[in-house]
A = this chain, B = another copy of it.
């Protein structure tokens, strides 16, 4: 019996495997870090995959018990229980991956034919002599015309300032980075010979800033990393920061400079990893919600913080990086995707671009869960977006033992026959609970009957009275890393109810606006880093989503970041983004008379 191949999608990983071994063994060898708390015993149910094609063992009793008949019929399997008989291709849902692997997934290459805004044009110029007295800039323009066919190229003033010394230091050779946007061509940097055109794609979140350093010629990510948004020091959520900026010019400038410094630092970090400098970055794309967008560009937010909440600008912007204090290539631009409305920003447009929702068939619901959750409903004739203030509970904030998804955070919880099981990030001793863990906890407590639909906590050996009223102890003093118990309080449950209620109410009102029933939903797309960490079962259990079959829910990761990278490397994608923003309708939820009732009803913990 020879070997065969196994493919893991959507990761694009492939490994050789021996018939008879399990999918879990093959995954480990392929570097696909499936979550497997029980170590392959079939008891935790976390290593779920879907067999797309290929010859594998039949579902075991354990699998049918863990996954349910319907899921098994759709091809769902537990990787630890499934033995390979021949070549096979499996699909790995995001929440079957460990945290570390999920972060890696977000670093995947973006598949797009690059049509970059900035072209790297190598040139070699005849040196200046007494018989050829052309100005340096004229000499460069002549070479760009002769060698690259550019008719009329403008020179950024900062490029003109550095060109003469560079030309002579580089012996009259180099790379002119020419930006061709809107019928204009402009040299935004003159660099060393063979210098690649670097781009920076930034997902500017209220809490976190993630960036990719990209080779504009190939679209490939060269390095990626994230930092906390330092504006948190001035206000945790969007409204708090708008309020701070409204206090005065100094305060608004503080916020602007803080975020620019953070992005500049990220650019230095990423460039440092590949032996480059931020001066070699010739184009950047930044996506964020409207408030983050405005605070980054230095646009005022007063009118965003008061009714009727209009943006200063909603069209796409091309801003010189230096005009907002960002030190990239001499004449580099930052491109900002269009905003839709005051609370449906460029990150939403980027998410639509990154997921492709506007071009999907049928009826599709999209969610980007965060402190503000943006929703979109795509029907055959409409594309309607709205925003709901879901708060930071899903990010572990305002939860008593809450924390970010860092080492030691409980990220997954189950309750079987009264026994509590959990998994922490990095399998470290627990020190707190992150958003996905809280959500799981609420869902399993509801399923076990410890919580009522209204969120009331009932008796259970683990329920005790704490400082905030009743609480359910997840980890005892002896189990935690800091010697204090970790519990879910009644107040934590309320925070989750408010958050999920805001989202569910938005979904219901969107569907009502479009005249769509739950049964019409062909797909639900969970975008955003956070949506990727959540357990779909738990989301459905507590009714954050309407009751759709779990198989219709797709976790696509940080689609806004993907959209930013698409827009970074392709002018066609920028045009698509413009068309999407022009087509998107905006629904203002808070002025709808149905909103209060919908919200109250949606807070119930039931599908």
Residue-wise, chain A 146-163 has the 8 Å CB interface mask toward B (1 for contact) of: 000000000101101111
**With contact pairs A308-B129, A313-B138 given, residues A165 and B319 touching in the complex (Cβ less than 8 Å):** no
User: Is there a chain B Cβ closer than 8 Å to A11's Cβ?
Assistant: no
CA distance A591 to B300 in the complex (A): 59
Contact with B along A297-325 (1 / 0, CB 8 A): 11110110001111111110101101110
Of B133, B314, B323, B591, the residue contacting A134 (CB under 8 A) is B314
Bitwise interface map of A from 319 to 335 toward B, beta carbon under 8 Å scored 1, else 0: 11011100000000000
Query: CA A302 – CA B314 in complex, angstroms?
Result: 45
Interface string of A211-235 (1 = CB under 8 A from B): 0000000000000000000000000
- Residues of chain B within 8 A of A130, CB atoms compared: 307-308, 588, 591
Most buried by B among A137, A299, A312, A341: A312
Asked whether B308 lies within 8 Å of A157 as measured between CB atoms, the reply is no
Provide the bound-state CA to CA distance between A293 and B163, in Å: 16
Whether A157 touches B297, Cβ cut-off 8 Å, given contacts A133-B342, A137-B313, A312-B136, is: yes
Residue of B nearest to A138 (CB): B314
Residue on B nearest A310 in the bound complex, by CB: B128
Q: How far is the CB of A533 from chain B (nearest CB, A)?
A: 33
Q: Is the CB of A164 within 8 A of B302?
A: yes
Q: Given A128-B308, A130-B588, A157-B324, verify A136-B315 contact (CB < 8 Å).
A: no
Complex contacts, A314 vs chain B, CB 8 Å:
134-135, 137-138
Nearest CB on B from A187, distance (A): 12
The answer to whether B317 and A157 have CB atoms under 8 Å apart is: yes
Closest-by-CB residue of B relative to A308 is B130
A28 on interface, CB distance cutoff 8 Å: no
Contact indicator A303/B133 (Cβ below 8 Å): no
Given contacts A136-B303, A137-B315, A307-B130, contact A323 B165 (CB under 8 A): no
Provide the bound-state CA to CA distance between A108 and B439, in Å. Answer: 78
Q: Which of B157, B307, B309 contacts A319 (CB 8 A)?
A: B157
Name A133's contact: one of B164, B319, B324, B586 (CB within 8 Å). B586
Rounded to whole angstroms, the CA-CA distance of A162 and B315 in the bound complex is 16
Q: Is A184 interfacial (CB-CB < 8 Å)?
A: yes
Whether A313 pairs with B588 at a CB distance below 8 angstroms is no
Q: Determine if A168 is an interface residue (Cβ-Cβ < 8 Å).
A: yes
User: Would you call A339 an interface residue if the criterion is a C-beta within 8 Å of the partner chain's C-beta atoms?
Assistant: yes
User: A130's closest neighbor in chain B, by CB?
Assistant: B308
In the complex the two chains form, is B313's CB within 8 Å of A155's CB? yes
Min CB–CB distance A182 → chain B (angstroms) = 8
Q: List 18 A-B contacts (CB under 8 A).
A: A128-B303, A128-B308, A129-B308, A130-B308, A133-B310, A133-B586, A135-B310, A135-B311, A135-B315, A137-B314, A158-B323, A160-B317, A161-B297, A161-B298, A161-B300, A164-B312, A165-B300, A165-B302
If A137-B314, A161-B298 are given as contacts, then 14 extra A-B residue pairs at C-beta distance below 8 Å, sorted by A number, are A128-B303, A133-B341, A133-B586, A134-B314, A136-B313, A138-B315, A157-B319, A157-B323, A160-B299, A161-B297, A161-B299, A162-B300, A164-B312, A183-B183
